[in-house]
Amino acid sequence: MRWRSVPQRLWLTVFVGAWLICMGVPATHAQGGEPLTFAIRGAKVVPVSAPPMENATVVVSRGLIAEVGNDVKVPPDAWVIDGKGLIVYPGLIDGFTDVGISAPAQPGGEGAQKQQPPPSHGPEDRPASTPWRNAADEVNPADARVETWRMAGFTTVVAAPKGGMFPGQAAIFDLGGERAGDFIVKSAVAIPVSLQAPGGFRNYPGSLMGAIAYVRQVWLDTNWDTQADAIYAKNPKGTTRPKYDRTDAALAEALDKHAVVLIPGNTSLQIRRALRLEEEWKLSGVIYGGQMGYELAPEIAAKKVPVLLDLKWPEAPKDADPEITPTLRELRFRDRAPSSASALEKAGVKFAFYSGGITEPKDILPAVKKAIDAGLAPDAALRALTLSPAEIFGVSETMGSIEKGKIANLVVTDGDLFEKKTKVKMVFVDGRKYEVREVLRPSEPPKGDMTGKWNLKFTTQQGEEEATADLVMESDGTLTGTVSSNRGSGSVFNGWVSGEKFTFTINLEIEGGTNDVVFTGTFEGSSMKGSIQAMGYTFDFTGSKPPAAMAALAGGAQ
C-alpha cells in the first residue's frame, strides 16, 4: 500500500488519530477507515455479474462502489491500495445463520430457572411461535462471530432468530459498524419455519403430523385474518370487529413486505414434502437443507423453488457406537451430499450456500471446495456465495456483485478464493476497510495429546461449578471441540496447544448477549489447570480426564 496525493485534511485526520492512540484512546475496529474514498488499483477483479478483469481498478467512495474497470480514473483524494498480486471478489454472503443476534435474556436473570410454557391444547394457543421477533431488533455488534466471519471474507449474513416452529423474521446484516443500526441492510426478508414438534406428546403439536397441521392452520388463519381486517377497514360500522392475533398479524406484515418462507427439506422425503407444502401454502417458498438434492434436482427445477444448501456435510458421529454399522443409504448420503450443488446447478435450480451447523468460519470455504471437487464449477460456487443469495432474498440491486452503485462490500485475497493456501488480506464492509491480520501463536510441538473428554471445576460468584470439555487436538496443536455446562454450550475456536500450554475460546450467551469465554492454562497427562476469562472476570479452574476416557484413549493408541 502506498500514498497518493494525500489532501491536507487527511494528514490532519492521521495526526489526530495518532495523537488519540498515544493518549490511550482505542482505535476503531476498521483500520484505515478514516478516508471516504479508496482505490484498489492493478488487481484482478471478479465481478461475478461479468467476466473477470485483469489489471483493473475498483474505486470505493462513501460506502458505495464508485467505479470499476480497466480504464478508471483514480480520484485525487483516494487512498490508493496497490492491487498487484491481489484478487478482488464481492463480499461473501452466509445465506442463513444467527451470527450477529443476541439471545433473549431469561426471566429472572442469569442462573434463573427457565420457565416452561403452559401445556398447549390446540392451534389457538399458538405454541412455539414468535414470528414477531425480528432479527433487526436483536442485533448484537459485540457478538465475537461478527469479526471471525468477517475475517473469513463474509461481509453479509442473512440472520434469523432460533427456537420454535415460527422463531422470527430474518434480516440482512452487513458485518461492520459500531451500532446495531449500522448492520441492518433490509428487514423481514424471510420467515423461517421449522417442523420440529416441541414438547413431546404431552403438548400440541406432539408429532411431525401435528406440526405440519399446526403450520398449515397458521397460514390459513393468517389469510383469513388478512381478508377479515380488509373487510372491516372498509366498513367498520355495523361489522363485528375481528379478533387480534399477534402471530397472524406479524406474519401478514412480513408477507406484505415480500418475505420468502424458508421450509426445511434435507432428505428426499423432506424435500418432496417441502415442495408440496410450498405449493399448498401458495407462498414464495425457499427450501433450506437440500443435501439430498442430487436425487431430486429435476423435480426441484420443475417447481422453480430456490434452495439454500447446508454446508455442514453429513459425516459419521464422533462418538458413534462401533457396534452399529451404518446403512448403505447413510454411507451414500455422506459420499454424495457435496454433489448436490453440481446437480442443482445443472438442473437450473437457483441455490445459495449457508453455514448451517458449521461453527468455525474457516471451515466454510473448505466445505465449498468439497462441492467443487464433486463437480460444481468454481464460478458457480462463487455465485452461490454472492449474487445468488442476494437474488433469493431480494437485494441483488444493492449487493452480491462488483458493479457501480452497489454497496462496497468486497473481499481481497492473495490468490484464488477456494485454494487452501489463499489468505484474505482485507475486507470492505459498507466501504469501510478492515485489515485481516494473522493470529500468531507459539509453534513448539505439543507435549502430549489433549484429545478426549475433560471434567472441569471452577468457582464463580455463584459458587462451585462444573463443565465438560470434549476436545480434539490435531497433530499441529490446533484445538477444536465443545464445552458444556449448566450455563450452556459453545464450540471451541482459536484453540492451540504449544508445549504444555494451551488456550481456546468459546461463545456463551451471558446476560442476554454473546460473550467470549477464554480458557488458558497448562496440562500434563490427565490433568490441567489454568484460568477462565469472561466479561472482565477471571476464575481459576482445574480439569481431569475420567479414568474411562483415559483407558479408551490408551486402547485407541494400541
Strand partners, 514: 509
161 DSSP assignment = -
Q: Which residues of 25-53 are buried (b: 16+ CB within 10 A; e: fewer)?
A: eeeebbebbbbebbbbbbbbbbbbeeeeb
Q: Do domains 1-91+400-438 and 452-557 have the same CATH topology?
A: no
- Predicted confidence (pLDDT) at residue 552 exceeds the cutoff of 80: no
Q: What is the CA radius of gyration of the chain?
A: 26
Cβ 292 vs Cβ 267: under 8 Å: yes
Reported as a single tens digit per residue, the pLDDT across 251-295 is 999 999 999 999 999 999 999 999 999 999 999 999 999 999 999
- Predicted confidence (pLDDT) at residue 182 exceeds the cutoff of 90: yes
362 DSSP assignment = G
17-26, 97-106, 139-148, 535-544 — most confident range = 139-148
Short-list 206, 156, 75, 550, CA closest to 355: 156
User: Burial of 541 by CB count in 10 Å (0-12 exposed, 13-18 middle, 19+ buried)?
Assistant: buried
Q: Which residue has the higher pLDDT, 198 or 328?
A: 328
Cβ 554 vs Cβ 461: under 8 Å: no
Q: Work out the pLDDT band at 97, boundaries 50, 70, 90.
A: very high
- Predicted confidence (pLDDT) at residue 5 exceeds the cutoff of 50: no
**pLDDT (0 to 100) of residue 342:** 98
| Mean pLDDT of the region 134-138 | 95
Average pLDDT over the chain, rounded to an integer: 86
The terminus-to-terminus CA distance of the chain in angstroms comes to 54
**pLDDT (0 to 100) of residue 511:** 54
Q: What is the number of other CB atoms lying within 10 angstroms of the CB of residue 125? A: 15
Instruction: Tell me which architecture the domain covering 452-557 has in CATH.
Output: Beta Barrel (2.40)
Q: Which residue has the higher pLDDT, 184 or 437?
A: 184
51-60, 191-200, 291-300, 470-479, range with the lowest pLDDT: 191-200
Q: What is the number of other CB atoms lying within 10 angstroms of the CB of residue 497? A: 26
**pLDDT (0 to 100) of residue 451:** 94
- Letter for the amino acid at 133? R
Taking CA atoms, 141 is separated from 97, 435, 436, 446, 517, in Å, by 15, 18, 18, 35, 17
- Predicted confidence (pLDDT) at residue 442 exceeds the cutoff of 90: no
**pLDDT (0 to 100) of residue 260:** 96
Tell whether domain 1-91+400-438 is in CATH 2.30.40.10: yes
Show me where the domains of the chain are located: 1-91+400-438, 452-557
Q: Helix 364-373 vs helix 340-347: angle between axes, to the nearest 10 degrees?
A: 60
**pLDDT (0 to 100) of residue 126:** 81
pTM for the whole thing?
0.76
Reported as a single tens digit per residue, the pLDDT across 330-367 is 999 999 999 999 999 999 999 999 999 888 898 999 99
Cβ 54 vs Cβ 76: under 8 Å: no
The alpha carbon of 540 is separated from its chain's Cα centroid by a whole number of angstroms, namely: 32
Reported as a single tens digit per residue, the pLDDT across 381-393 is 999 999 999 999 9
